Structure 1
Amino acid sequence: MDKENIEKSENKCELQKILDIIGGKWSMSIIYALISDKKRFKELERMIPGISTRMLVKELKNMEENGIVTRTAFATVPPTVEYNLTPKGRKLEPIINELYKWGLEHIN
C-alpha cells in the first residue's frame, strides 16, 4: 500500500470518529437549538419536530459523554434538567451555521 492510500485510509478512520461524536441523525438539530442558550429537556423536545423522547435522551447522553453538552439537574419536583453547550460544543456553531447556509442554497 502506498503512502497516499495509507493517508486516505487514516483520514477515513478519523472522519468516522468525528461522525460518531456529532453524526447522530438529531445531533445537529440539538446543537442548533442550544446555540442561543441553555434549554430544558421539554424545550428541546418541542424545538425539534419529529424526535422521540427516547431518541432525544439517547442523543443527549452521547453528546454529554463526548463533551459536547453539559447536563445540569436541579432538585425540584418534578425534576428539572437543563442542557448547555460546552466550549467544545460551541466550536461547532460556525460549522452548523455554514451547513445551514449551504442547505438553503441547495435544497429545492
Structure 2
Amino acid sequence: MSARYEKYGICPVNATLNLIGGKWKTRILYLISSDVNRFGQILKLNPECSKRILTVNLRELEADGVINRKVYPVVPPKVIYSLTELGETLHPLFNSMSEWGMKHILEPQFEK
C-alpha cells in the first residue's frame, strides 16, 4: 500500500476529509480562498480558535501542499497565505458546500 493510502485511507471521501476536515481546516481554506490571507484576519473571523490551534492547522495545510506561506522581510513580520494549485482545485467543492448550506440550512428558516 502506498504512503498516500496509509496517510489518507482508501475511501476517496475519507481521504478528502482527512486532508481538509476537522473543525478549523475547512473554515481556514474557505477564508483563504476568499482572499482572507493574513493570520490575524483568519483569527479575527474565528474568535473561538486559539492562536496555537490556528498555527497547527496552517502548518498541516502547508505540509500537505494545500496552502503556501510567504513571509515578507519587514518589521513587523508580514505573512501571507494563499492556495496552492492543489488548493485551488477545492473551489468547486467550497462552492457546492456553500450552495447546499444556503439551500438546505440557511434559506429554509426564512420560509416560515
TM-score by length of 1: 0.78
Match of 2:79 among 54, 77, 81: 81
1:41 matched to 2:39:
yes
Root-mean-square deviation over aligned CA pairs: 1.9
Moved more, 15-24 or 56-65: 15-24
Q: What stretches of structure 1 of length at least 5 have no aligned partner? A: 1-9
Overall identity of the aligned pairs, in %: 36
Q: Which amino acid aligns with 2:41?
A: E
What SS does the corresponding residue of 1:94 show, helix, strand or coil?
A: helix
Q: Which has the higher contact order (CA 8 A, sep 6+)?
A: 1
Partner Cα distance (1:45, 1:90) in 2: 21
Is the CA contact (8 Å cut-off) linking 2:36 and 2:42 kept in structure 1?
A: no
Deviation at 1:94, TM superposition (A): 1.0
Q: CA deviation at 1:45?
A: 1.1
Q: Secondary structure at the match of 1:76?
A: coil
Q: How many angstroms apart in 1 are the aligned matches of 2:56 and 2:21?
A: 13
Where 1:71 maps in the other structure, the secondary structure is strand
TM-score normalized by the length of structure 2: 0.76
Code of the residue aligned with 2:46 in structure 1: it is: I
In the alignment, structure 2 segments of 5+ residues that lack a partner are 1-8
Partner of residue 96, structure 2: 98
The CA deviation at 1:15 is 3.6
3-state DSSP of counterpart to 2:82: strand
Instruction: State the Cα distance separating 1:39 from its structure 2 match.
Output: 1.2
The 8 Å contact of residues 71 and 82 in structure 1, kept in 2 or not, is answered as yes
